[in-house]
Amino acid sequence: MAVERITQRAPIARSGRTDAKRLRDNIYSSADDAGSSDEPMPANSDRRADVVAAASFVTDDPAKLTADIISMWTRAQEQFLGIGRTLIAARKMIERLMMQDTAAQAMRPADRRARAETEWKKFLEGLPFTQGIASQLEQVAGAVDGGRLARDELPHNYSVAYQLTTLNDAELEAARRHPDIVGPSATRAKIIAFKQRMREGNEHVVILSRRRTRIQEAIARLQQELAEVERQIADTEA
């Protein structure tokens, strides 16, 4: 990814504190350099593209408008995947820079993680979305790049796509049998309702399994008591 080219341009400051603004500016600069690549661009793409998109609506051809909308809809998915990937790269870069810092190396692992998290939050302060949204974008990009979700299984909205990442493997496999749960037509409400049904059903099975175990234990105890009674009867008759 293009972000990898900037790791040598953003050393940690002498004070031991990562310059979040410099990290952010370097990432955006590197993303601009990658404009000719096939990788999705972060959300700071050239505003001239918006002008071109708006100009395309000056037409009397419904088919042209349909094609434009589909194209922009597809680009929306590419955008949130690209942002998620860039966020992952930025987080990794901050961690690498922390490991290269002498002061950070002398810290306990827990303190180093806490400081890295502080630097990460500083980096996010300059972005136009919250830490929660950043986390969702990372989760979606990680699921796609990790092979857990395919591109064609993603809804076109990051918050809906994120809901798919909250399903466990068994739930996700079951969800794939429902095109309104996994795929472009999925909605957040449908995924959440599906997850709730699955987990309520699983909880009911767990309750029944526990009850079965208690009954089996009671049967075993009664069988032991019955065997003892029969032994006493046999001894008496003898």
Give the model's pLDDT for residue 66: 77
Residue 172 in any domain: the answer is no
Cβ neighbours, 10 Å, residue 112:
18
Give the model's pLDDT for residue 2: 40
Residue 43 in any domain: the answer is yes
Residue 226 in any domain: the answer is no
Residue 26 in any domain: the answer is yes
Q: Cα angle vertex 69, ends 64, 71, to 5°?
A: 95
Please, what is the average pLDDT of the chain? 77
Residue 39 in any domain: the answer is yes
Residue 220 in any domain: the answer is no
Lowest-pLDDT choice from 4-18, 71-85, 164-178, 182-196: 4-18
Residue 222 pLDDT > 50: yes
Name the pLDDT band for 204 (thresholds 50, 70, 90). low
Instruction: Report how many domains make up the chain.
Output: 1
pLDDT: which is higher, 60 or 196? 196
**pTM higher than the cut 0.85:** no
Rounded-to-integer distance, Cα 138 and Cα 158, Å: 10
pLDDT: which is higher, 44 or 93? 93
Rounded-to-integer distance, Cα 143 and Cα 65, Å: 32
Rounded-to-integer distance, Cα 193 and Cα 123, Å: 35
- What's 180's DSSP letter? T
Give the model's pLDDT for residue 25: 56
Say if CB 85 and CB 138 are below 8 A apart: no
Which one-letter amino acid corresponds to residue 106? A
Give the model's pLDDT for residue 51: 45
The Cβ-side half-sphere exposure at 172, using a 13 Å CA radius, reads 16
Lowest-pLDDT choice from 65-74, 90-99, 229-238: 65-74
pLDDT: which is higher, 111 or 27? 111
Residue 188 pLDDT > 70: yes
Lowest-pLDDT choice from 92-96, 225-229, 231-235: 231-235
Name the pLDDT band for 231 (thresholds 50, 70, 90). confident
Residue 5 pLDDT > 60: no
Residue 52 pLDDT > 70: no
Residue 223 in any domain: the answer is no
Residue 166 in any domain: the answer is no
Give the model's pLDDT for residue 15: 44
94-147 pLDDT, tens digit each? 888 888 888 888 888 888 889 989 999 999 999 988 999 999 999 999 999 999
Encoded tokens for 114: 């806490």
Closest among 82, 190, 191, 211 to 140, alpha carbons compared = 82
Give the model's pLDDT for residue 163: 96
Three-state DSSP class for 145?
helix
CA dist list (Å): 111 to 18, 103, 115, 189, 197 = 15, 11, 6, 39, 41
Query: 42: domain range?
Result: 1-146
